[in-house]
Structure 1
Amino acid sequence: MNYLERDLRAQAEKYKNLFLISEKLHSCMDMETLLEELFVILHENYSDYSYCLFLSFDTHSRENYPIKELEYDSENVAAAKAYALGEVQFEQSITDRNAIIYAPLKGIQGVYGVLQMIARDSVDFPESEIEFITLLAGSVGHAIENAKLYQQSEQLVCNLKLLNEATKQFNSNLKLEEAMSNISQQIQSAFQAEEVGFFVLTDDQLKVKLLPGSTPYFYSKLGQVYIQYFKEKILQEKDSLYFADFRSEMEVGEEFHSIMAVPVYQGQSLKGFSIVMHHKPYFFTFDTYKLLQTLIQHSSLALMNHKLREELNKLVITDYLTKLHSRKYLDEKILHSMKKDKQGTFILIDIDNFKKINDTYGHQVGDEILVQVANVIKANIREKDIGARWGGEELAIYLPMVSLDNGTAIAKRLIKKVEENSNPRVTVSCGVSYWYKDLAHSYQSLFKRADEALYVAKTTGKNRVVAQTDHHEAS
């Protein structure tokens, strides 16, 4: 075999190896795996060379491999030129007798970096070596592009799933607290965020209400500092905020560096905002920020609809004038209580001489009196007690798990408070009834006994409380 034949066979073997290398690189869809495989290949094929990758994108592999960020400075002129022009560049070190080649990592859509190869004790690279390194760098560029596109598509699928799940949560029949908690968990999981907060503003935009689903940090004093700072910042900027390495004049003991803050608008009106934070600088990418913007904007309409639906549900169960519950809501709650509780007390209330008030002062004052009495009721019952408008000038209170004696005492306190806090001064009469599980009291008899006791109170002097009599107890 002559020299030419051996050279041709060596060249064929070399390009066969390049094909196998390209095949191996293109099978790597994970960037870390791709870079790891590349340096194994370089070590096997260029053990006598020094090499380095200059990359234009961020990677966590710099500590393990000879990777540098591509920067435009005096030390990297040839590398920057190879990247900018997409053409191979050369350098020669006369003192060290080194030949250096910079081969761009070119894909179809762009250049992703530069491969630097250093041949020790050489003045120049052979033409065949230049061609091989150029083809190898091109193969690496295409492999990086494929891996990045694959990762982007995977991320896009994850993003779409996140958006879809968030929309489902907001448009579901879940309570706002449950929906916000689920969204918060999804953001923490998808973005690996340490703190997530959701906030709504009062109509005057002076105060901020923290929504359920926010992480506990925002309930702390330090968290409140961030809330107020970004509220003012958003009101001033009227736009979303992205800080890769946050520095401010805030004097806080626990500083977060990566912060995203996105406002929620209804039309042109700022209704609230969201804050996502992490201690590490540059933790959130700009793509993450854009996704959060899309997520919040995508969900803002659903959030507003959710709030409107809750307000509508509240209107359905609330009397428009007194803001007490409706009679239908009261009936439902009493029936539910009679199934799960052991006892309960019902108070039926009537405003004394209400027709005379309307005739003397007018119906507008009559309405004001109803509101005043309703306010006294709301101020003197527990959160789990139910105050309701029974009809006309009659109001009602249901006290779950309260005995007849205690219920009667509450009614007596109530008539005293009404007389003290009404203007023009009015009085009320109360009929009190009671149920107990062991006595098999019925739902209908509870109302009947209270109505009969109220009739006695009205016909025996008014401004008084009458409780059900003994002969009613088993009816």
Structure 2
Amino acid sequence: MRFLSDKSIETLKSQFFDLIDTESGVFHYQNVLKTMVKTIQKMLELDEVTLFICHAWKSQYSMGVSTNENIMEVTPSNDSSDWLSSLKTIDFSPTDKSFKDYQVLIPLVRSGRNLGVLCLKGNQTSITPSNQDWFEQFAFVCSSFVQKAQELFKIVMEEKRYKQLFRVNEKFHSTMDMDAVLGEIIYTLQEVYPSFTYYLMLSHDNDNHSELPIKDLEYDSENIAAMEAYVTGTIQMEDSLNERRSVLYAPLKGKQGVYGVLQVIAPDTLTFPSNEVEFIKLLANTAGSALENAQLYQQSKRLIADLQLINETSHRLNSNLRLTETMSYMKEQIVHSFDAEEVCFVLLSPDLKLISVLAGSTPFFETEASTAYVQYVIDRLRQEHDSIFIGDVDLNLAHNEKKFRSIMAVPMVQSGLIKGLALVMHSEPYHFSFETFKLMQSLIHHSTLAFTNSMLREELEKMVVTDHLTKLYSRNYLDTRVHESLDEDQQGTFLLIDIDNFKGVNDKYGHQVGDEILIQVADIIKSNIRESDIGARWGGEELAVYLPRIPLEVGISIANRLVDKVRELSKPSITISCGVSYWNVDNPDNFTNLFKRADTALYVAKDTGKDRVVVQEKINSF
């Protein structure tokens, strides 16, 4: 044929050359290939020209462009792709069923690499084996053109990627928000590789609540490559022939460490392309540095907040708060700052045994259910003599009891001695971070002196108003409290108590036993009155109890109980006599008269047989 000549080849080269527009600075790869097949169709007067492109890193062929606008985009089956790959020379009689409608298949090969296959249909007079030599020149020209187009496309894409990398770098350095950094990584990858799948595999210390594709970085049989990338700081690959996919793990690495792993899944890919690896590596390294900067910024903010918390707490605790106020304030600070569910402050003896749970702890520690946790922590403290941090504790509790899994316990140490401990709990496992634990240690360390001072101050105050032998209140303190009650309350009952035959006890057993008798009676009084009631040593063997807001009938009942308890429990057995007086707003009185009536009633009790209670209203009947 006249057009199948050397001159036609030169014409084709010239037309192909004109397709490459380098002056405008814009290169559209797909449009160039589409114009190429139309040029071939026009020149050879064909019905259809279709170009299948070989994706070397996928080892697959897919339809690139076609002059037949009605043809659907076809991806050859694996068998057809294998058949196309084995196509080394021009085939004028295709046998594969997917290509049987075409007259000739022309493999495009350059530098030993398959670029694609050109499929021609129509004009059977020219598409014959007799034109083999011309078609081989034609294949060479087409191969050179496709290769050149791919190289230009690669350059354009590289430029676009690195512009994106530059843009990402600018974005990374304009924010200190970790979510924004992670989101920008995913957005960039989706823009460059829309068919890939991505996951950010982050360690547990990254507390992220966004909707990004984030997974925990855990060591198991499925994550060996990811963990290796995290530990070694180098890119790892996983290629799967069965699943026809390749997975890349790129560490998000900064100067001080690795902050996670970027997982990139390339479907229908047997080997991840090296040029893509380099770009993802650069992106991951840039992201790692940005994550590091964001994390350091967040750490600095957290440290400033921690220092402010410690400073504010220390300042508040050193403002002469009462012990209960100190504990309550600390509880509120810990609950707010650490997101704790339960907080407890425990007072310990020198041998690390429980003395008491201090007021100000959360209500849970007033229940029996708390005993197991308090005792568990004390036992651990006795063994380790150090702070306790447990992410997932599992105590053997009753089935219906609420379980607390996260525990922090910090001893209160003063002058080298453990005075007590602070216990913080949450029901969720691993709720508290290690940074939270370190802050807890610092907070308790800086607060222990204030705790100790509050306890010493209240102990000193109690010593001033307490009788050193019986540990009951002093007479002066009782006077003060009774006067306050007369001014503020609606009623009150006063008991004046005397130990019967106390001189005889001293003469028979000695003054040491006499002191023990006083202590026994005082202990019985303390164990049978409320915390708001005032038990005091009146003088010598005389004791007194004032019951604010208590009616006379209840006061008489308490007095009788005390008389009975002393008779039953004292050793050697002794008895007491008790005089009772009472006042209310309908019959206002002063403390002198209240005492005189109780004293007169006590005198009557002593004079009428002892070991009894006499009430002020009944005096005249004796």
**Shorter-chain TM-score range:** 0.7 to 0.9
For 1:396, what is the secondary structure of its paired residue? Answer: strand
Q: Give yes or no for the alignment of 1:308 onto 2:308.
A: no
- Structure 1: distance between partners of 2:442 and 2:385: 16
Distance 1:425 1:334, change over 3 A: same
Map residues 84-163 of structure 1 onto 2, 5 A cutoff: 86=233, 103-115=250-262, 132-163=279-310
- Structure 1: distance between partners of 2:200 and 2:343: 37
Q: Give yes or no for the alignment of 1:346 onto 2:346.
A: no
Could you tell me which runs of 5 or more consecutive residues in structure 1 were left unpaired when the two chains were aligned: none
Could you tell me which runs of 5 or more consecutive residues in structure 2 were left unpaired when the two chains were aligned: 1-20, 27-151
- Structure 1: distance between partners of 2:505 and 2:557: 27
- Structure 1: distance between partners of 2:550 and 2:240: 94
**AA paired with 2:534?**
I
Distance 1:17 1:318, change over 3 A: same
CA displacement 1:164-188 (0-9 Å, x = unmatched):
4554565455454444344334333
Aligned to 2:58: none
For 1:148, what is the secondary structure of its paired residue? Answer: helix
Q: Give yes or no for the alignment of 1:259 onto 2:413.
A: no
Once the two structures are overlaid, the 10-residue window that deviates more, 155-164 or 405-414, is 405-414
1:52–1:116 Cα contact (<8 Å) kept: yes
Distance 1:131 1:310, change over 3 A: same
- Structure 1: distance between partners of 2:431 and 2:488: 51
Distance 1:42 1:330, change over 3 A: same
Q: 2:519 aligns with which of 371, 376, 388?
A: 371
Higher relative contact order (CA closer than 8 Å, sequence separation 6+)? 1
Q: Give yes or no for the alignment of 1:240 onto 2:378.
A: no
Distance 1:386 1:260, change over 3 A: closer
Distance 1:387 1:9, change over 3 A: same
1:385–1:397 Cα contact (<8 Å) kept: yes
- Residue 219 of structure 1 deviates from its aligned partner by 5.5
- Residue 437 of structure 1 deviates from its aligned partner by 2.9
- Structure 1: distance between partners of 2:617 and 2:404: 67
**AA paired with 1:395?**
L
**AA paired with 1:396?**
A
- Structure 2: distance between partners of 1:306 and 1:148: 39
Distance 1:42 1:312, change over 3 A: same
2:176–2:297 Cα contact (<8 Å) kept: yes
Aligned to 1:442: 590
Q: Give yes or no for the alignment of 1:318 onto 2:466.
A: yes
Q: 1:335 aligns with which of 483, 489, 492?
A: 483
TM-score by length of 1: 0.75
- Structure 2: distance between partners of 1:413 and 1:242: 49
1:222–1:252 Cα contact (<8 Å) kept: no
- Residue 9 of structure 1 deviates from its aligned partner by 9.3
**AA paired with 1:323?**
K
For 1:312, what is the secondary structure of its paired residue? Answer: helix
**AA paired with 1:325?**
Y
Distance 1:79 1:322, change over 3 A: closer
For 1:390, what is the secondary structure of its paired residue? Answer: strand
- Structure 1: distance between partners of 2:299 and 2:478: 55
Once the two structures are overlaid, the 10-residue window that deviates more, 267-276 or 90-99, is 90-99
Aligned to 1:20: 167
CA displacement 1:74-93 (0-9 Å, x = unmatched):
87777666655656677888
1:202–1:209 Cα contact (<8 Å) kept: no
- Structure 2: distance between partners of 1:80 and 1:277: 32
Once the two structures are overlaid, the 10-residue window that deviates more, 306-315 or 242-251, is 242-251
Once the two structures are overlaid, the 10-residue window that deviates more, 202-211 or 329-338, is 202-211
The higher radius of gyration belongs to: 2
Aligned to 2:338: 191
Aligned to 2:441: 293
- Residue 338 of structure 1 deviates from its aligned partner by 0.6
- Structure 2: distance between partners of 1:380 and 1:73: 63
**AA paired with 1:180?**
M
2:392–2:430 Cα contact (<8 Å) kept: yes
- Residue 328 of structure 1 deviates from its aligned partner by 1.8
For 2:463, what is the secondary structure of its paired residue? Answer: helix
Once the two structures are overlaid, the 10-residue window that deviates more, 190-199 or 73-82, is 73-82
- Structure 2: distance between partners of 1:136 and 1:46: 13
For 1:398, what is the secondary structure of its paired residue? Answer: strand
Amino-acid identity (%): 51
- Residue 213 of structure 1 deviates from its aligned partner by 4.5
Aligned to 2:184: 37
- Residue 140 of structure 1 deviates from its aligned partner by 1.1
- Structure 1: distance between partners of 2:224 and 2:553: 92
- Structure 2: distance between partners of 1:229 and 1:220: 16
- Structure 2: distance between partners of 1:469 and 1:255: 57
**AA paired with 1:113?**
G
- Structure 1: distance between partners of 2:558 and 2:283: 88
1:169–1:183 Cα contact (<8 Å) kept: no
Once the two structures are overlaid, the 10-residue window that deviates more, 94-103 or 432-441, is 94-103
Aligned to 2:431: 283
- Residue 325 of structure 1 deviates from its aligned partner by 1.0
- Structure 2: distance between partners of 1:98 and 1:209: 64
- Structure 2: distance between partners of 1:389 and 1:78: 78
**AA paired with 2:191?**
E
Map residues 56-71 of structure 1 onto 2, 5 A cutoff: 56=203, 58-59=205-206, 64-68=211-215
- Structure 1: distance between partners of 2:270 and 2:567: 106
CA displacement 1:37-64 (0-9 Å, x = unmatched):
3312322333254444444555466995
**RMSD of Structure 2 on Structure 1 (CA):** 4.8
TM-score by length of 2: 0.60
For 1:333, what is the secondary structure of its paired residue? Answer: helix
Distance 1:424 1:87, change over 3 A: closer
